[in-house]
Amino acid sequence: MEPSGQPLADVARLRDDALRLLSEQGASLADLASAGLSLPGPLDLERGLVIRPPNLPGWDEVPVRDALAHDLGCPVRIENDANAGALAEWRFGAGRGLASIVYLTMSTGVGGGLVLDGRIYRGIECAAGEVGHMPVEWDGEVCACGQRGCLEAYVGGAAWAKRLQREAPDESLAVEQAGGRDRVRPEHVVDAARRGDAFARAEIDRYIHYLSRGIVSIAFTLAPEAVILGTIPVAMGEALCFAPLREQVRALVWSQVGARMQILPAALGEDLPYLAGLSVALDSSQSLTEEQ
Positions touching Zn ion (CB under 5 A) are 133, 143, 145, 147, 150
Please tell me the total number of residues recorded for the chain in this structure: 292
Give the Cα separation of 125 and 213 in Å (integer).
25
CB of 284 to Zn ion, least distance (A): 32
Q: What is the smallest separation between the CB atom of 273 and Zn ion, expressed in angstroms?
A: 25
φ and ψ of 195, to 5 deg: -95, 10
Q: From the CB of 142, what's the least distance to Zn ion, in Å?
A: 9
**Please, which residue, 131 or 275, has the CB nearer to Zn ion?**
131
Please, which residue, 131 or 143, has the CB nearer to Zn ion? 143
Q: Smallest distance from the beta carbon of 235 to Zn ion, in angstroms?
A: 23
8 Å CB contact between 204 and 236: yes
Output 108 or 262, the one with its CB closest to Zn ion: 108
Pick the closer one to Zn ion by CB: 131 or 272: 131
Work out how close the CB of 12 gets to Zn ion at its nearest, in angstroms, rounded to a whole number. 35
First to last CA, the chain: 25
CA angle centred on 267, ends 252 and 203, rounded to 5°: 50
**E strand intervals along 203-270:** 226-229, 262-265
- Is 147 or 262 the residue whose CB approaches Zn ion more closely? 147
Handedness of CA 15, 21, 22, 26 (dihedral sign): positive
Q: In sequence order, what are the beta bridge partners of 265? A: 229
